[in-house]
Amino acid sequence: MLLTQRITQHAHDLGFQRVGFAPADPLPHGDAFREWLDLGFEGEMRWLERTRHIRDRPEHLLEGARTLVAVAVSYKTEDGTAQPGRIARYAQGFDYHRVMEHKLDALGDFIRDDLGLDARTRAAVDRLPLLERDVAWVAGIGWYGKNTLLLTRDLGSFLFLGELLVDADLHAPTPQPHRNFCGSCTACLDACPTQAFTAPYRLDARRCIATLTIENRGPIPRELRHAVGHWLFGCDICQDVCPWNRKAPNTKEFAYLGRPEIQALSADRVLTLSDKDLDHLLYLSPIRRPQRAGLARNAAVVLGNTGDRRWVPLLSSRLDEEPDPMVRGHIAWALGALGGPDAASSLLRRADQEEDPQALDEIRQALLCANSMTS
């Protein structure tokens, strides 16, 4: 068997469903990535700007790199999250970074120990400055969808991608980039509630619900809060509507199946859990990324978007007890969105006590909304 055949077979044994190979040459979409940055579409993801000149250069991650082994595995599951609040499917299981990095390290050991190659390897799973979708595209695993995600005909786009950089020539056949099968379909573009796609294949991350609820560390822009809907963490809308995902089977990988304790994490529970309890609950979960303040901010927006005034007492108590002024501001917004005399009363009472100017501005704006809905 060829080296690549043996590596592919072992990667399948490790649970990777797709495997491809590419030379560790400069990646083809580096200039397009930098043009995207020049438009400011990365939003709060400032680290992308700091690494703009090396993300298309695999040799910066492993000196002497000659081959890229690209892998993909599905994380598609049925959405079993509690209400109110939805969690993107990728985050309902265990942290994929650790799972995939461990398996890629094992694949590197196989190359050295079983195949006897004197080679150094380095695993990359979303934590190193590398254009990972470009690697998968070059390696022939899938094509770029109009929602900017990598698509495959049989597994759809609910995919975790990973790479193994190898400083040896594995004599892989010249890869052929995958044909695009999106055709005239615009379902993903049309479904986005925040209109985050400025054109096919171009995303303004500043408007993306996933970015707003995960990477954003500040307030969610007021004009986008209603559009966030019930998303507590991340967003799957542009994938849910994709025809290729309707045909894709659910994953059988245990680590990516929904954890009951994560799926039960509703918005109201986020607001009532202590920092310690929340930290314990989110052990080995990607949901830790926005930290407690980010999750509480998201939870307030979700409750405000329910239109259900039974959440007013909870929000009113949290408005008085919440230590973070940004979160208080979003709780105030939620009360204003729900409206009614009880919400207005709580906001008025807090306005007399609030010392943070931004939180106070949120309270005043929310009070106007609540009063308009009371009359």
Tokens of residue 276, six digits: 């310690």
Closest CA to 248 of 152, 162, 184, 182: 152
User: Is 279 labeled as catalytic in the residue annotation?
Assistant: no
pLDDT at 371: 85
- For residue range 340-357, list pLDDT tens digits in order: 999 999 999 999 999 999
The pLDDT of residue 373 is above 70: yes
In 133-213 the beta strands, taken as DSSP E runs, fall at 143-144, 150-151, 159-166, 197-199, 202-203
Residue 358 near residue 329 (C-beta atoms within 8 A): yes
Element containing residue 71 per DSSP (H, E): strand 67-74
Tokens of residue 289, six digits: 């990324």
Lowest mean pLDDT among 167-176, 237-246, 320-329: 167-176
pLDDT at 375: 54
260, burial (CB in 10 Å: exposed 0-12, middle 13-18, buried 19+): exposed
- For residue range 154-167, list pLDDT tens digits in order: 999 999 999 999 99
What whole-number distance in Å separates Cα of residue 157 and Cα of residue 356? 43
The pLDDT of residue 1 is above 70: no
In 190-337 the beta strands, taken as DSSP E runs, fall at 197-199, 202-203, 231-233
Confidence of residue 271 (pLDDT cuts 50, 70, 90): very high
Of 105, 126, 240, 342, the catalytic one is 126
| 1 vs 95: which has the higher pLDDT | 95
Starting at the edge strand found earlier in the chain, the sheet holding 159-166 runs 18-23, 67-74, 159-166, 121-124
Cβ partners under 8 Å of residue 327, min gap 6: 293, 296, 297, 300
Amino acid at 93: G
Domains of the chain: 3-78+95-166 (3.40.109), 187-374 (no CATH)
